[in-house]
Amino acid sequence: MNRVDRLLALVAELRAASPEPLEPGALAGRLGVSERTVRRDLELLTHGGLPVRTEKGRGHVLPADPPPPALSEVASLMGPVHDTLAEAVRTRRIVRLAYTDQAGARSFRDVEAHGLVVAPYGEYLVGWCRMRDGPRMFRLDRIGAAFLSGGGAEVRDLDDLLAALRVPMPRPPAEPGPRGPAGAARARAWTLDRLEFVRSRLREATAEVRGGQEGAAALRGVLGHLAEWTRWQLAAIRAAATDRTPVLEGRRPPFPPEFDRELPYDARERMIQDAMALRSLGELARDLREVLEAAGHWAADCDDALWERELPDPRPFGPPGPPRPLADLLAGWRGPLAHIEWHLDRLTDEPPQPAPEDDEDAWVIDRCPLQA
């Protein structure tokens, strides 16, 4: 063991035993060196500023780090957002966020802060959103400001919240054998977990309206919109990844010839809604489900090298966006999965309205992130 590693191991042993002291002989035995070497190393660390104390007859002890001073409500608005969130998690507080979603809409939310986690494409606050009355993740770079309220968070298990959110964790290969790059394995696992989470949300939304709750007409309009646009987005991403002709999955309805020409968003959306209006809610849900199932099969089986590359970001209007990793294209903030979640979230707040002076089953999907 070289000297640097030995000093690291020595500090680790002291921290693990704190607040109990360790005798030089015990430290020497754990590190495989002489007591003289331990004493010399402790002297070096002490002169360097490590607050090691010597207790006569008992050995050496490293005092536990004092807790950071409590952050006041005013100070929480003045310091870095990350510090405020860390304090909220440490003290189990409710934090009020100014949050901007992927579509650019700002909201103010009271969140029970339960953890900070790092996922493949950002750091997130995990907590219980009181506005949504459920577990949510908030990307830190989308939190414009955070304020520590006086309220305490309820006791909730962070592991349960992570499981409900399908937060990605590295998974071992199903069978022994050659493995792809670590980054590819993690990106693939994260994407598949996000995909399953979105599919579960779609199942829940469909089951709710079939169970007699209001909102069936609004959900039909949204599912028609999502089936066609998700079909296009996923086909465009696969084509960019494989350099092949786009393959449109699912059960695409017939469209007029002008649908494949360059059209304004509103005109194209009207054609989508007209074509989808002939389908039942179950047929629309099945179409979108088949599109997502095909995406899942492809993501699970495609070459590891694709997850290590950056690919052009296909946009419905204009030239491709800046290159991004495949996992980000599929499951990131501007991808098809985030697009689906944006519309499902909006249904709970402000469902789309029928077009004026039109049939009540004709819906206008406005303010969609794809228009940006």
In single-letter form, the type of residue at position 224 comes to G
Banded model confidence at residue 180, pLDDT cuts 50, 70, 90? very low
The predicted model gives 299-327 an average pLDDT of: 87
Banded model confidence at residue 161, pLDDT cuts 50, 70, 90? low
Q: Are 143 and 106 in contact (CB under 8 A)?
A: no
Q: Look at residues 298, 174, 293, 300 and name the one whose alpha carbon lies nearest to residue 237.
A: 298
Helix 336-349 vs helix 182-210: crossing angle, to nearest 10: 30
Phi and psi torsions of 213, nearest 5°: -75, 160
**In the predicted model, what is the mean pLDDT of the chain?**
80
Spatial separation of the C-alpha atoms in residues 250 and 368, rounded to whole Å: 22
The distance of Cα 340 from the centroid of its chain, to the nearest Å, equals: 14
**Whether the predicted pLDDT of 36 surpasses 50:** yes
**Whether the predicted pLDDT of 174 surpasses 70:** no
Q: Look at residues 181, 133, 170, 168 and name the one whose alpha carbon lies nearest to residue 332.
A: 168
Spatial separation of the C-alpha atoms in residues 253 and 223, rounded to whole Å: 13
Q: Show the tokens assigned to 174.
A: 């199903």
DSSP H/E element including 220? helix 216-242
Spatial separation of the C-alpha atoms in residues 325 and 315, rounded to whole Å: 15
Q: Are 304 and 218 in contact (CB under 8 A)?
A: no
Q: Look at residues 151, 315, 289 and name the one whose alpha carbon lies nearest to residue 236.
A: 315
Q: Look at residues 106, 105, 144, 151 and name the one whose alpha carbon lies nearest to residue 128.
A: 151
Banded model confidence at residue 168, pLDDT cuts 50, 70, 90? very low
Out of 54-58, 157-161, 239-243, least confident range? 157-161
Banded model confidence at residue 1, pLDDT cuts 50, 70, 90? low
Banded model confidence at residue 47, pLDDT cuts 50, 70, 90? confident
**Cα-based angle 112, 116, 119 (whole degrees, multiple of 5):** 130
User: Among residues of the chain, what percentage have pLDDT more than 90?
Assistant: 18
Q: Are 75 and 124 in contact (CB under 8 A)?
A: no
Banded model confidence at residue 159, pLDDT cuts 50, 70, 90? low
DSSP H/E element including 312? strand 310-313
Domains, the chain, ranges and CATH?
3-61 (1.10.10.10), 73-165 (2.30.30.520), 182-371 (1.20.120)
Q: Measured between alpha carbons, how far is residue 302 from residues 184, 185, 238, 298 in Å?
A: 11, 12, 10, 6
